[in-house]
């Protein structure tokens, strides 16, 4: 008899605990608040100062600039002043679309000597046009992803630029406002000053279009660099990730 009373008592206690826990769970309201004592839910200006704002031309840059001359190739080092100067002049030019081509060769056979820019990744046309300060509605071109550029002197004595979309195997040709004399004297003629490179076909690519990979002929010596990050305030991440919700 005592055993039955004990079981009944334990059962009543368990039921009571279950009711209490269920009620607390049902009526629970989390205390949502900022993690600090400020009344603002926004990141303070002092924390925003830690961010660095950069223009698109500083972020999107070619990894190689290759000068073509009579089946020979020279590379302008990306640490040279001429590398930055050429890229700045190119982005300041005006573009007029000339033609849209399908191609299995880049540059095309009619281009001759010129300067090739190789980007580390494909650029959507919106980003590509933004580099030149052009909006989509100002220059209607198909939605492609641009990999490489090639500038050359056209038969009409103007500097033209071919933009390659290797995935789509399409090529867009533009007429630029670059000076022919400046292009020849400052970039094509000083060929002997550049680092000699050789071409290797990208055999891993599944595309029909073959693209050259450029490697230095002679050994290249580079400086070993080490980087240290500046201290980052934990308050910035706390405010950005764990602020209260506005429903």
Task: Count CA atoms within 13 Å of residue 202 on its CB side.
Answer: 12
For residues 146 and 167, give the distance between their C-alpha atoms in angstroms, rounded to a whole number: 9
Q: In this predicted structure, which of 3-7, 10-14, 117-121 has the lowest mean pLDDT?
A: 3-7
Name the more confident of 60 and 238.
60
Q: How far apart are CA 168 and CA 166, in angstroms?
A: 5
Mean pLDDT of 207-227: 79
CA–CA distances in Å: residue 183 to residues 18, 153, 159: 84, 9, 8
Query: How confident is the model at residue 36, as a pLDDT?
Result: 52
pTM of the model as a whole = 0.68
Lowest mean pLDDT among 108-122, 166-180, 198-212, 213-227: 198-212
Interior CA angle at 138 toward 136 and 144, to 5°? 35
Q: Which residue has the higher pLDDT, 52 or 83?
A: 83
Edge-first strand order for the sheet with 114-124 is 95-102, 170-176, 159-165, 145-153, 114-124, 64-69, 72-76, 195-201, 212-216
- Residue 90 is predicted with a pLDDT of 93
Residue 193: predicted pLDDT: 92
Q: What distance in Å separates the CA atoms of residue 87 and residue 119, rounded to the nearest whole number?
A: 12
- Phi and psi (nearest 5°) for 151? -110, 140
Q: Residues 155-168: what's their mean pLDDT?
A: 87
| Distance between CA atoms of residues 26 and 28, nearest Å | 6
Mean of pLDDT over the chain: 81
The mean pLDDT of 209-229, rounded to a whole number, is 82
Question: Residue 67 pLDDT more than 90?
Answer: yes
The residues near 61 (Cβ < 8 Å, ≥ 6 apart) are 78, 87, 119
Instruction: Check whether 61 has a pLDDT greater than 90.
Output: yes
**Half-sphere CA count of 155, side-chain side, radius 13 A:** 2
pLDDT band at 210 (very low <50, low <70, confident <90, very high): low
User: How far apart are alpha carbons 65 and 184 in whole angstroms?
Assistant: 15
Q: How confident is the model at residue 246 (pLDDT cuts 50, 70, 90)?
A: very low
Per residue, the 3-state secondary structure of 105-130, as one string, reads CCCCCCCCCEEEEEEEEEEEHHHHHH
Helices and strands: H and E segment counts in the chain: 7, 9
């Amino acid at each position: 008899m005592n055993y039955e009373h004990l079981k009944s008592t334990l059962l009543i206690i368990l039921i009571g605990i279950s009711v209490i826990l269920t009620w607390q769970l049902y009526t629970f309201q989390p205390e949502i608040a900022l993690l600090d004592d400020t009344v603002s839910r926004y990141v303070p200006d002092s924390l925003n100062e830690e961010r660095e704002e950069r223009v698109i031309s500083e972020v999107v840059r070619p990894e190689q600039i290759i000068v073509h001359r009579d089946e020979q190739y020279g590379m302008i080092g990306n640490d040279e002043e001429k590398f930055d100067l050429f890229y700045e002049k190119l982005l300041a030019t005006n573009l007029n679309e000339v033609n849209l081509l399908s191609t299995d060769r880049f540059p095309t056979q009619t281009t001759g000597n010129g300067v090739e820019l190789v980007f580390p990744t494909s650029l959507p046309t919106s980003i590509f046009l933004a580099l030149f300060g052009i909006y989509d509605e100002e220059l209607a071109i198909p939605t492609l992803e641009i990999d490489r550029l090639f500038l050359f002197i056209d038969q009409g004595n103007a500097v033209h630029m071919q933009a390659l979309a290797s995935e789509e195997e399409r090529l867009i040709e533009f007429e630029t406002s670059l000076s022919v004399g400046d292009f020849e004297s400052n970039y094509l003629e000083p060929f002997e000053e550049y680092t000699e490179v050789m071409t290797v076909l990208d055999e891993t690519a599944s595309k029909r279009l073959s693209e050259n990979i450029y490697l230095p002929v002679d050994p290249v010596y580079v400086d070993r660099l080490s980087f240290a990050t500046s201290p980052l305030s934990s308050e910035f991440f706390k405010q950005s990730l764990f602020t209260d919700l506005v429903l």
